[in-house]
Amino acid sequence: MNVTQDLSILSLVWNASAVVQFVMVLLLAVSFLSWYFIFRKIFTTRLAKGQTEQFERDFWSGSDLNSLYQSAVNHRHSTGSLERIFESGFREFAKLKTQRAGDPSAMVDGARRAMRATYQREMDSLESHLSFLASVGSVSPYVGLLGTVWGIMHAFRGLANVSQATLAAVAPGIAEALVATAIGLFAAIPAVVAYNRFSHDVDRLAVRFESFMEEFSNILQRQAHLR
């Protein structure tokens, strides 16, 4: 009963060496932070996909471009990424059209550049914190391994003061060292899974944004020749 109590997880963590404890605390803090970002990204990616689908339905339903633009301007704080891309492109196109300067190709190119700049800003926002999840997924196992190696070294150094080396003498030290590896894997696995999933979702949104910019540029090209 005493052996079981001495080898419990809490007892191992409490009695671990200072270096191993530091590694465990660091990994737990990183794990909690990665879970916070995971839940945030779940919400933001779902919201982005929903807003994108809604705007695509409104855009291709035959609504007037001016009405869509005014709606985007009036609800700027609640619009989605795709709607902001549309807003920036149409604003630049309308400005160049009222100036009546330059050829239609220049007007469309200006709108395309404006949309591309907004597209980059939106992608930076959607990809935020993904690099942190990637770092956690790739580095956490090695940090846990560092704690494990140090714990095993500490356990074997303790044998120098023991006249007879037994498994019972080194078992607590090895066990506490392996806890560091377990915590490292606990931090890394969800981060890797989440990173792969969110990267896939962001890439799909990026493809939809780029397809829309090309199709919208074609529409603006036709309107430019009607001025």
pLDDT digits (tens, 9 = 90+) for 169-221: 566 667 777 888 888 999 999 999 999 999 999 999 999 999 999 999 999 88
- Quick check: 18 and 151 in contact, CB under 8 A? no
CA distance 183 to 103: 63
pLDDT number for residue 4: 44
Residue 19 structure tokens: 């270096």
Task: Pick out the chain residues at pLDDT < 70.
Answer: 1-16, 100-102, 158-173, 226-227
pLDDT number for residue 14: 65
Sorted by where each begins, the domain ranges of the chain are 2-224
CA distance 32 to 40: 13
pLDDT number for residue 166: 60
Is 0.85 topped by the overall pTM? Answer: no
pLDDT number for residue 5: 44
3-state secondary structure the chain: CHHHHHCCHHHHHHCCCHHHHHHHHHHHHHHHHHHHHHHHHHHHHHHHHHHHHHHHHHHHCCCCHHHHHHHHHHCHHHCCHHHHHHHHHHHHHHHHHHHCCCCHHHHHHHHHHHHHHHHHHHHHHHCCCHHHHHHHHHHHHHHHHHHHHHHHHHHHHHHHHCCCCCHHHHHHHHHHHHHHHHHHHHHHHHHHHHHHHHHHHHHHHHHHHHHHHHHHHHHHHHHHCCC
pLDDT number for residue 9: 59
- Nearest of 89, 159, 79, 158 to residue 117 by alpha carbon: 89
